[in-house]
Structure 1
Amino acid sequence: MGEGQLRREGGKFGLLYASLGAIVGSGWLFGPLHAAQQAGPLSLVSWLIGAAAILLLALVYAELGPLIPRSGAIVHISHLGNGSLLGWIWGWILFFSYVTIAPVEVTAVLTYANNYLPGFLQEGAQGLLSRRGFVAAVLLLGIFVAFNFLVIRWVLRINSVATWWKLLIPAATVFVLVSLSWHPENLHLLPSHGALESMFAAVATSGIVFSFFGFRQAIDLAGESKDPGRTLPVAVIGAVLLSALLYEGLQFAFLVAVNPADLSHGGWAGVDLPGLTGPFAALALAVGAGWWSTVLYIDALISPAGTGFIYVTSAARVSMAAAEMGVFPRFFTHINRFGVPWRALLLVYGVGILFSFPFPSWQKLVGYISSVTVLSYALGPIVLLQLRRAMPKAPRPFRLWAAPILAPLAFIVSNWIIFWAGLETLSFTFTALALLLGLYLLLRLFTPAPERKPLGLRHMWWVFPYFALLWLCSYLGPRDLGGLGHITFFTDMAIVALLSLTVLRLAMTFAVPDREILRYMAEINESKAATGP
């Protein structure tokens, strides 16, 4: 294996564990509490909605991934059918959606650790790291990066061992809580106001969708898989289904284990457990399983740390792919003799440190990240339909059944999740995108004319009314989501669905010519053949 090549050493189970290991992280430690506070027993439905939404996207990418079996494949997908400008902006969106996850998982580790090693969090500022916590975060993130300098075979083996632990402990937690504290009457206590609205909003803001994003790890490591055509669909779909079953059990156990007396003042919204920064451990202690709370505090180090570790792995691959596509300098495409994109790893570490500063708490930050990430994945259904049109007879290791129906539905659901995140999150996301667009145009001014790529505005102009109208729906929408209240919740959802179908039609109409898509796919295949097994 020469210098400059990735190693194709990832098997079916290695990729499955990569996705599962990324899904079961800090989400299971904090998500059920936040979901219960927002939606009460309806949080059980929230997890089902989140799983169904992500499964739709996972099915789309299960077809797309094997067609572009490159590490960081999602970046390549974003450049396929809508011009270089959209590909550049989407490349940055993807980069931020990946590079921010590991710092969030590090924050989760330190939040739990603060219960027995006080000083990692600021006094009186819930969930914010102190100076000591920031230093610890930088060191822990550095450990994740250091272990990623191993060859990919060992990276996946370490993750596989951690994943078994991460699956067994949550599953055992369900059994412990249900067997020691059984209060099914809790399931009848619904939120006092806007129960259905809260059920949908919880999908985007309580960490539910954030938890399921780990499915993409298998796709990002496609370039290091022995047989991506067979392994990717199994890994992607299997990870979503298995984790959905686990999360549904955890939410049920949390709901029935809480003492009804704790719900007598304020209902689910006012539930307050001792040691709230470690809700499951606090709940185990409250039901008389102090020994299990100790296990959970140990797991609170392993689960988020394992997820942070594998996200550093994939973030480096996405960064490398972004450099290959011209989003970043070519400097970051370098791969050492062990098959490690080490310069991209250092970039991930540097940017990760910035996101370790005392920004908003875990729940607030995952709301922002969820919105950005869902937006980045919303492009997948569009690209799938573009490829179906440009390459109707091309062999596909996995072919999505009823794609003309399921792909538009996946796009609608993506936009619903963005809408459910609320006006504040949507404003943050679109402001960031406007700044990225301004940066691109500024850099273009300083690029010599012969080196400038065509902007491709004709192929992506639909993005501007898409973003503007989606923001307007949120601005005029329900007060519970930060809007003015001129449009009711479900009416607004119907409007967003119609907007999504209109935007999808425009994106298909103004896509780059089919011959350009075919040329790009040919280049991808030639590059794959040159890399070799």
Structure 2
Amino acid sequence: MPSALKKDISSVGLLFTSLSCMIGSGWLLSSIVAAKLAGPASILSWFLGGILIAFIAICFAELSTAFPVAGGIARYGQFSHGSCVSFIISWLAWLSCVAVAPTEARAILQYASRFFEGLTYKAGNTILLTNTGILSAIIIVFLLSWINIRGIKTMIKYNNVLTIWKISVPLFVLGTLAFNRFETSNFTESGFMPYGIEGVFQALSSTVIFSYLGFRECTSLAAEVKNPQKAIPIACIGSVLYCMVFYMFMQAVFVGATDSSMFANGWTNLSFSYDAGPFAGLAIALGLHWLSSLIYIDAVIAPTGAGLVYTATTSRLMLAMSQNGFLPGFCAKISEAGVPRNAIIINGVVGVILLAPFEDWVALVKFQSNAIVLAYAIGPIALVALRKQLPNHPRPFQLPLATLFSTITLFICMMLIYWSGWDTVAPLLISVGIGLVLFALTMGAKDIKHALWLIPKLLLIGIVSYLGNYAGMGILTIAQETSILLLGSIGVLYLGFRSRLDQSMTQHYLQDTSQQYEDAI
């Protein structure tokens, strides 16, 4: 029986992996959510989001080419700071990623509800699943798991075909809508930025960032890539640049294609027939029923592609957590098809369970986005620490001005979390607390001294969020909030650098053959 993952993924396959994750339910549902939060200025949310995510992507491009290991985000923290930091980052990343399959299932069913009324119902402005809808979501999640159990070649084969569709069909749909109606007056009639810069940031930190986050999923498959030094930077950076242009175009078309009567009561109250599937609803309003049929078909294909890839990459994350000693060896068992079958099954079950606590698509993606951004914050700290710990380690892609770049990247992560609001930050902090308890129960105090810098980091974001203007007390001004988080980011980076493992322990975690680390170099 195989004991190692297979190197079957090409540069094109890896790029398509990231694109497939980034063009899922986000393009189908995020436009109306962003427009309600920021009005026409939601276009700026996509631009800023692309720029900010690019910083994070470039940071991970160095880490993932220097250390191309399965489930990379679970491992970088271990190499630089040991088991406790690795577990918390892994916990957050896993919690976020394992929820993607049910999220995409919700999007499929939300669009399908036009034809199958028993799938969803409205409670105020919130669209919820019926019992039949929940059962249908469970079937979709397990179907995605079954395809992945068949092997990585099967998954990539399906995904490459799906990604070609997911790139071409949305572009065709958006072009057709813009050709039939594009009212430039929509961008100024109620003001370009009716809810101020705060609305732009709110849209950015919720549904916008969610749509970009798939860029890093390619690094979770690093151990299965034929040429990681070339393929990973192309996939990480190329996918972000493409999606920034695509999503700005998408949002502009959505705003321009709406009729002024649809936002007569303000963009917050934007509403029209069949807006549960916003682009299909706009096509129907324009009399383009054939186009709405194409969109409804895409509402099955696009989320399926994203859910398919996340099911694969999340299982590799669980594999890495098992190899790190956080989970039983049962989770790291490789099947005859060369995939972590048990991890895929477990993640499918957990994904189904997560359908319960989050009542709608927006609530689920908002929490997901901020959990993974908090996990991403290990990237810049691990980068500067590993530069010191392993100065001679091969780095095919080396970031210039690493300390400055890492400081900016960490500050970006802190701001993205803060902009999501106290109502999202609070459960996020609780989730970290649960993770710490689980670590203590399984690993005791192992490497705990190297994780103490997490405490001021979490206190900083918690206090500023509670006192800030995004669902907080509103005591701090925007300038004060920004200054505190910037200075705090500098301090956290310094503390994280000082708290790094010594070189011998880093080498131990990197070279420990007893845990069978997957190395694709």
Fold match by TM threshold 0.5: yes
Does the CA contact (< 8 Å) of 2:37 and 2:203 recur in 1?
Answer: yes
> 1:245: how far off?
1.2
Task: Trace 1:164-179 onto structure 2 (pairs within 5 A).
Answer: 164-179=164-179
CA distance in 2, matches of 1:288, 1:524: 63
Q: Which residue of 1 aligns with 2:468?
A: 477
Q: 1:513 aligns with which of 502, 508, 515?
A: 502
> 1:49: how far off?
1.1
> 1:156: how far off?
0.8
> 1:89: how far off?
1.9
Does the CA contact (< 8 Å) of 1:381 and 1:411 recur in 2?
Answer: yes
| Cα 1:344–1:204 shift into 2, 3 Å | same
Mapped pair 1:323 → 2:322: yes
SS in 1 for 2:128: coil
Q: Which residue of 1 aligns with 2:133?
A: 133
Q: Which residue of 2 aligns with 1:467?
A: 458
Unaligned runs of 5+ in 2: none
Task: Trace 1:393-404 onto structure 2 (pairs within 5 A).
Answer: 393-404=392-403
Q: Which residue of 2 aligns with 1:103?
A: 102
Q: Which residue of 2 aligns with 1:447?
A: none
Q: Which residue of 2 aligns with 1:78?
A: 77
Q: Which amino acid aligns with 2:276?
A: T
Q: Could you give the per-residue CA deviations for residues 94-149 of structure 1, whole angstroms, max 9, x where no partner exists?
A: 21111011110101101111111111113536222111011111111111011112
CA distance in 2, matches of 1:415, 1:134: 34
Q: Which amino acid aligns with 1:37?
A: K
CA distance in 2, matches of 1:425, 1:443: 28
CA distance in 1, matches of 2:432, 2:121: 31
| Cα 1:439–1:263 shift into 2, 3 Å | same
SS in 2 for 1:440: helix
> 1:522: how far off?
3.5
* Length, aligned pairs only: 519
Q: Could you give the per-residue CA deviations for residues 389-444 of structure 1, whole angstroms, max 9, x where no partner exists?
A: 22223321111232222111111000100000000100000011112212332345
Question: Please, what TM-score do these two structures have when normalized by structure 1?
Answer: 0.94
Does the CA contact (< 8 Å) of 1:92 and 1:327 recur in 2?
Answer: no
Q: Which amino acid aligns with 2:157?
A: R
Does the CA contact (< 8 Å) of 1:197 and 1:489 recur in 2?
Answer: no
> 1:524: how far off?
7.3
Mapped pair 1:8 → 2:11: no
> 1:356: how far off?
2.1
Task: Trace 1:24-173 onto structure 2 (pairs within 5 A).
Answer: 24-124=23-123, 126-173=126-173
> 1:338: how far off?
1.4
CA distance in 1, matches of 2:153, 2:123: 44
Q: Could you give the per-residue CA deviations for residues 2-22 of structure 1, whole angstroms, max 9, x where no partner exists?
A: 522211010000100010001
Q: Which amino acid aligns with 1:237?
A: I
Q: Could you give the per-residue CA deviations for residues 261-299 of structure 1, whole angstroms, max 9, x where no partner exists?
A: 22222x211110211210010011112322101110110
Mapped pair 1:387 → 2:378: no
| Cα 1:54–1:191 shift into 2, 3 Å | same
Q: Which residue of 2 aligns with 1:348?
A: 347
Unaligned runs of 5+ in 1: 445-451
| Cα 1:510–1:78 shift into 2, 3 Å | closer
Does the CA contact (< 8 Å) of 2:228 and 2:520 recur in 1?
Answer: no
Q: Which residue of 1 aligns with 2:446?
A: 455
> 1:384: how far off?
0.6
Mapped pair 1:245 → 2:234: no
CA distance in 2, matches of 1:532, 1:485: 49
Q: Could you give the per-residue CA deviations for residues 69-92 of structure 1, whole angstroms, max 9, x where no partner exists?
A: 222111111212223222222221
Q: Which amino acid aligns with 1:468?
A: L
Does the CA contact (< 8 Å) of 2:96 and 2:371 recur in 1?
Answer: yes
Q: Which amino acid aligns with 2:424?
A: T
Does the CA contact (< 8 Å) of 2:225 and 2:520 recur in 1?
Answer: no
Q: Which amino acid aligns with 2:71?
A: G
Q: Could you give the per-residue CA deviations for residues 336-364 of structure 1, whole angstroms, max 9, x where no partner exists?
A: 12101101111111101101236221111
Q: Which amino acid aligns with 2:456?
A: P
Does the CA contact (< 8 Å) of 2:174 and 2:250 recur in 1?
Answer: yes
> 1:171: how far off?
0.7
> 1:491: how far off?
2.5
